[in-house]
Amino acid sequence: MENRETLVYILICIFLSLHFLFWRFRPRYTEVTSVFRLTNHLNIRSLASVTSYNFDFMLYMVNKAKSVNKALDKAVPLCKPALKIRESMRYTLLSGGKRVRPMLCLAACELVGGQESTAMPTACAVEMLHASSLIQDDLPCMDDDNLRRGKPTNHKVYGEDISVLTADALIALAVKKMAASTSLGVPPERVLRAILEMTKALGTEGLVAGQAADLAGEGMSGLGLEYLEFIHIHKTAALLEASAVAGAIVGGGSDEEIERLRMYARCIGLMFQVVDDVLDVTKSSEELGKTAGKDLVAGKLTYPRFMGVEKSKEYAEKLNVEAREHLQGFDSQKVAPLLSLADYIVNRQN
Ligand code: GRG
């Protein structure tokens, strides 16, 4: 009897010790696994070249993505009773994504001497606008896609009606976020200028123009490189450009700094889409998290179709060189994130 009581006592002690150890180290374990998941998603480990500036880009990108995800989560809280439209906004906004545009915005702000917190509302806004464009792009009347970031597209889950409203709501929230949440320490004229940049990138001087030209060009023969460049500069590069420029504006950059960042971002914006076109024909849907080979099927004018895969890759490299030329003269340490980001974009695998 006494032996049995001793055994039970020992077992309880072991259980309590294990319980204590689990709760003591659980936060660190969760932290490590979440960084691992983000790193996998961002596919940064394939980037040996990034270490060349003696700068840990992987850590930088993971930390920025974590801060942005936290801020986005707070920006669209789930309310009770749960509204379908809010669930739908959160579905696309928080369903992964590399967070390239917010990172660009934060890095540009920091490069000109601003704080991360100063540009965070702008960084969230640009991701909201990006999410809105993805939802619209996937609709049956546009690209008609079922898969985005490895999950069913927004309209497949919530229906076309709610999807259209979600895209609208995200645009409205983005502008509200910049206007209402940017620190009071930032002069209002800077906030207004940043909002102007962002809205310019959306309409007929930006995404809308690019998408309209893209749709009009489907299946048409005889369109040249100029037409292709117009589509990509408007549809893809405009928002990347606005991300960097708006970040530098709220961060207090000089006109010269802002314009140099604009040129850099325009190059990486175009490069982003050249790489996207290459990935569309060289990777599987599983690797991309979206339907691969769609451009080819739709008869779209793409860089690989125009000049072949190898020449397209060379062109992306050329844009990378050009992009970094625009950053010459900035502080070599502060500019490291943007140099690494350019490398990341040209080498990305999804
Ligand atoms: C928002 C006013 C407004 C209009 C939208 C539908 C449309 C007009 C434009 C289409 C824009 C579009 C979807 C361009 C493609 C850009 C692109 C390469 C997206 C993929 O970006 P990643 O790889 O995606 O950064 P993740 O998932 O990582 O965020």
**What confidence score (pLDDT) does residue 175 get?**
98
Please tell me the distance from the alpha carbon of residue 138 to that of residue 156, in angstroms, as a whole number: 10
Given a cut of 70, whether residue 11 has pLDDT beyond it is yes
Of 42, 130, 204, 268, which is best to mutate to test ligand 1, by the most ligand atoms within 8 angstroms of its C-beta? 130
Domain 43-347 has CATH 3.20.20.80: no
pTM, rounded to two decimals = 0.85
Residue-wise pLDDT tens digits, 126-167: 999 999 999 999 999 999 999 999 999 999 999 999 999 999
Taking all residues of the chain, what is their mean pLDDT, rounded to a whole number?
88
Res 14: pLDDT: 75
175 lines ligand 1 (CB under 6 A): no
**pLDDT of amino acid 294:** 74
Determine which of 19-33, 100-114, 228-242, 264-278 has the lowest per-residue pLDDT on average: 19-33
Q: Compute CA 241 distance to the chain's CA centroid, rounded to the nearest angstrom.
A: 13
**DSSP 8-state symbol, 234:** I
CA 290 to ligand 1: nearest atom: 27
Domain range summary for the chain, segments of one domain joined by +: 1-40, 43-347
d(CA 340, CA 337): 5
Q: Closest residue (by CA) to atom 27 of ligand 1?
A: 97
Residue 254, CA distances (Å) to 159, 250, 259, 327 in order: 45, 11, 9, 14
Instruction: Take atom 17 of ligand 1 and give the residue whose Cα is closest.
Output: 236
Instruction: Please compute the mean of the pLDDT values over residues 302-331 and round it to a whole number.
Output: 94
Distance, CA of 31 to CA of 23 (rounded, Å): 13
pLDDT at residue 302 is higher than 60:
yes
pLDDT tens for each residue of 198-232: 999 999 999 999 999 999 988 787 888 899 999 99
In short, whether 302's Cβ falls inside 6 Å of ligand 1 is no
What does the pLDDT average to over 288-296? 78
Reduced to 3 DSSP states, what percent helix, strand and coil does the chain have, rounded to the nearest 5?
75, 0, 25
Q: How confident is the model at residue 106 (pLDDT cuts 50, 70, 90)?
A: very high
The whole-number average pLDDT for the span 96-101 is 94
Span from the CA of 148 to the centroid of ligand 1 (angstroms)? 11
Decide the pairing of beta strands 151-152 and 147-148.
antiparallel
- Quote the pLDDT of residue 124: 98
Predicted confidence (pLDDT) per residue in 46-95, tens digit: 444 444 456 899 899 999 999 999 999 999 988 777 789 999 999 999 98
For residue 29, name the pLDDT band (cuts at 50, 70, 90): very low
Task: Return the higher-pLDDT residue of 303 and 285.
Answer: 303
Q: Whose CA is nearest to atom 18 of ligand 1?
A: 273
- DSSP lists the bridge partners of residue 151 as 148
CA distances in angstroms from 334 to 50, 113, 146, 339, listed in the order given: 15, 9, 40, 10
User: What atom in ligand 1 is closest to the CA of residue 127?
Assistant: 29
Size of the chain, expressed as the number of residues it contains:
350
Is residue 273 lining ligand 1, measured as CB closer than 6 Å?
yes
Radius of gyration of the chain (CA): 23
| Mutation test residue for ligand 1: of 137, 202, 268, the one with most atoms within 8 Å of CB | 137
Burial label, 183 (beta-carbon count in 10 A; 0-12, 13-18, 19+): middle
pLDDT at position 1 is 52
Q: What is the reported pLDDT for 136?
A: 98
Cβ–ligand 1 distance for 288 under 6 Å, the answer no
84 φ/ψ angles, rounded to the nearest 5 degrees: -60, -40
Q: Give CA–CA dist 206/209, Å, rounded.
A: 5
At residue 30, the pLDDT reads 43
